[in-house]
């Protein structure tokens, strides 16, 4: 197994029957990497499978997610199989993390998902332009290279 592929962390025991929440992230993006590193240090409330998509990631194909789309927007697959992207994906991840689950609840209670999505869309477009539109190798959808 390559060092960047799959890592599961959880506050639960190994024998837990819960399916993990799957988080797809760009491990070559310095901002994304820093944020994911922070999340991974927390003791998650549910199992999380961290999938770095900066290299070949077969799990994207397994769930029918296009690599370019995954590079453009943050994707999370919840334990129940629901695929979320953008701000909704952050809320799905935050619900599995101590402290952040309260933030997710507040955002949902105050109906701030639209504002969060608007802010995320601006960030995501800028990040994609800076990294992927400059012919960055990690953004290639051709997995043979």
Whether residue 91 is contained in a domain is answered as yes
Q: Which domain holds residue 44?
A: 6-138
Does residue 125 lie in a domain region? yes
Give me the pLDDT at residue 58, please.
Answer: 94
Q: Is residue 1 part of a domain?
A: no
Long-range own/partner contacts, residues 72-77 (CB < 8 A, 24 or more apart): 72/124, 72/125, 72/128, 72/132, 73/124, 74/24, 74/25, 74/120, 74/124, 75/24, 76/21, 76/22, 76/23, 76/24, 77/21, 77/22, 77/24
Would you say residue 143 lies in a domain?
no
Q: Has residue 145 been placed in a domain?
A: no
Model pLDDT for residues 52-63, shown as the tens digit of each residue:
999 999 999 999
In a domain, 83, yes or no: yes
How many domains does one find in the chain? 1
Which residues of the chain are under the pLDDT cut of 70?
1-17, 131-145
The pTM of the full predicted model, rounded to 2 decimals, is: 0.77
């Amino acid at each position: 197994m390559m060092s960047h592929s799959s890592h599961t962390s959880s506050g639960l025991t190994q024998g837990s029957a819960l399916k993990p929440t799957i988080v797809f992230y760009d491990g070559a993006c310095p901002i994304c990497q820093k944020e994911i590193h922070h999340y991974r240090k927390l003791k998650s409330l549910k199992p999380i499978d961290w999938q770095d998509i900066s290299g070949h990631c077969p799990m994207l194909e397994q769930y029918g997610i296009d690599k370019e789309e995954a590079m453009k927007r943050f994707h999370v697959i919840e334990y129940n199989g629901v695929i979320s992207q953008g701000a909704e994906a952050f809320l799905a991840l935050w619900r599995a993390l101590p402290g952040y689950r309260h933030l997710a609840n507040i955002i949902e209670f105050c109906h701030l998902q639209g504002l969060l999505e608007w802010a995320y869309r601006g960030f995501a477009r800028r990040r994609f332009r800076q990294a992927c539109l400059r012919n960055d190798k990690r953004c290639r959808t051709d997995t043979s290279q």
